[in-house]
Structure 1
């Protein structure tokens, strides 16, 4: 399979953002702004099994940071992640007999809920490393990573406390990116020693606590929850919006033309356009949104020249890419890259 046809995860489970949405609503951000971001009602977003394209996560967190004026909104929005997010994965994490089995379940099902990150477990030097690696068609983004890691830390600590164990399973945390001038809010939110500049987000866990048997095991309930999650993965229905977002993510270097998309699905362009619009989107908007966030991801890779990035985004020339980038971010791609830390 060629590099341009590698299938990358390109959707996430929308209700995972509900604690963050509630945080924004409590800060006075209007429901209309949030619904405009997703082009769905908040009622729809609260519906189980709703999965949406990855670019909507990036849109949401950009709105969250701008509307709240809080550069650490991801950290703050995750404060109630463990207590207010209720789905089969968090329940399964709670009923597993050990942290080891809980994290194994997490690694299995987390990509279905998250989309842009996968979980890997490794053992070394008396500790267990729970790594979150980028694997989606788009990167998760800083706010989303921070929201996710605070949520996972809460789940880990809550599980031990429920068994009467006061020891902290977290030894330290590796974080990507340069350290902020003042990382006090990170220390307060994560409550663990931090190491900045890591290639991946990694939680270092106490191996002794990792395998320790916790609360009495309910094997029947655990099996039921596994069955429900398997069923949810198998029965999640795709829409034409999903197909279009996946097609664009896969075929972007070649242009991802609407005509080719329609031909591949034996649809007239008029019919496909009408069906996409019923989901709130025009094909040209989907193409623009994918390019917008992927451009930033590619610019962060210093190994790629602007000409290579232009090709990967499916533009015919650098001038076209530069005009689009200026429309999105008010500056040129080169100036954006020059302003990156480090």
Structure 2
């Protein structure tokens, strides 16, 4: 039997900080390319690269990546060279949350849930099964002109993060890539400690699942709780919905407040309220990078956190008011959203984010 965990996002088109762009600009400078050339056409200025609060969209970083590949693309395995520069500290509060997680497995689960706080363009999915942990790296939606660079960069950055978390090089069981083998594999073997295979069906790497149970050397329950709260708040700000997604969210929020029953309308009812077919609504939501299920989860999560912290309702009552037939189904969903149970959340094991 295997357990699969998908990332909390389906696509690379999410807002991000500038640390990744600053890292690539620094790499380019070291190899004789002025920062102005790397930022050309991105709309970014050099001053913005040192602003820790600056936020850009993914297409801005993509413009910088294309400039980097244009300027230095003749270097073999450029993506590997750049990817090994990404360390846990590059990722700010997201990285600190991973570092302070209790175990490597819990750090990976957290990273997948909050992947939109990273800089990745390739979307990982994890599978736990007897004898093997498999990380499959999806590149289907990555633009073809920079796909190989980004697979090399993002997979290497993920590997570097795992090594940073454990404080040593992680031993891979195997690594596979869907593109042709380079002429020289020395850098691959230097970084990964093995010879990958190429022209495979998927991009993936595997670990001994026993590694996932290992406590992390810098684990700290209090720090982890604070980092989780800050990450949730940051994600909430970045997920401010507009357009069709905002209209659907409004229809999913109950009118009766926290004390009333809040069984949410189904997608067919929402589509009727918006005077469109269900198929058209699905298409519009997909174009907006979301889905009815994802929006319903966002609404249910927000309501459940509020009910658990602002009312004396039992977990079973919260489940009923959110439209769940059984409390166990709600508990499973809540743990998927937050990494903890409703009861533990209420006890304060995970501090709720400050309300604004």
> Scaled by the length of structure 2, what TM-score is found?
0.58
Task: After superposing the two structures, state which structure 1 stretch, 36-45 or 90-99, moved more.
Answer: 36-45
Structure 2 residue matching 1:202: 3-state secondary structure:
strand
How many Å separate the matches in 1 of 2:239 and 2:130? 44
Task: After superposing the two structures, state which structure 1 stretch, 21-30 or 135-144, moved more.
Answer: 135-144
The runs of 5 or more residues in structure 1 that have no matched partner are 1-6, 241-246, 252-342
Q: Is the 8 A contact 1:176 1:199 kept in 2?
A: yes
Residue 128 of structure 1 pairs with residue 136 of structure 2: no
Partner residue of 2:118? 113
Task: After superposing the two structures, state which structure 1 stretch, 230-239 or 20-29, moved more.
Answer: 230-239
Task: After superposing the two structures, state which structure 1 stretch, 204-213 or 80-89, moved more.
Answer: 80-89
Which one has a larger percent helix, Structure 1 or Structure 2? Answer: 1
Partner residue of 1:150? 156
Q: 1:113 to 1:135 in 2, by over 3 A?
A: farther
Give the C-alpha shift of residue 36 in structure 1.
Answer: 1.7
How many Å separate the matches in 2 of 1:197 and 1:133? 15
Q: Could you list the per-position Cα deviations for residues 72-129 of structure 1 after superposition, in whole angstroms to 9, with x for gaps in the alignment?
A: 2221122321166141121112111111001001111123433633221102340111
1:104 pairs, out of 94, 101, 109, with 109
Q: Is the 8 A contact 2:123 2:139 kept in 1?
A: yes
Partner residue of 1:200? 202
The runs of 5 or more residues in structure 2 that have no matched partner are 1-9, 243-283, 289-356
1:257-336 alignment runs, 5 A limit: none
Give the C-alpha shift of residue 210 in structure 1.
Answer: 1.4
Give the C-alpha shift of residue 225 in structure 1.
Answer: 0.8
Give the C-alpha shift of residue 237 in structure 1.
Answer: 8.0
Structure 1 residue matching 2:60: 3-state secondary structure:
helix
2:58 pairs, out of 54, 58, 65, with 54
Give the C-alpha shift of residue 216 in structure 1.
Answer: 5.9
Q: Is the 8 A contact 2:181 2:199 kept in 1?
A: yes
Q: 1:250 to 1:127 in 2, by over 3 A?
A: same
Structure 2 residue matching 1:128: 3-state secondary structure:
strand
Q: 1:107 to 1:8 in 2, by over 3 A?
A: closer
How many Å separate the matches in 2 of 1:105 and 1:97? 11
Q: Is the 8 A contact 2:121 2:150 kept in 1?
A: no
Q: 1:136 to 1:87 in 2, by over 3 A?
A: farther
After the TM superposition, list the runs of 4 or more consecutive aligned residues in structure 1 that deviate by more than 4 angstroms.
Answer: 135-140, 237-240
Give the C-alpha shift of residue 62 in structure 1.
Answer: 2.6
How many Å separate the matches in 2 of 1:8 and 1:151? 18
Q: 1:43 to 1:199 in 2, by over 3 A?
A: farther
How many Å separate the matches in 2 of 1:92 and 1:153? 17
Q: What is the root-mean-square deviation of aligned Cα atoms in Å? A: 3.1
Partner residue of 1:45? 49
Partner residue of 1:94? 99
Structure 1 residue matching 2:181: 3-state secondary structure:
coil
Partner residue of 2:165? 159
Partner residue of 2:224? 222
Q: Is the 8 A contact 2:135 2:204 kept in 1?
A: yes
Q: 1:135 to 1:230 in 2, by over 3 A?
A: farther
Partner residue of 1:314? none
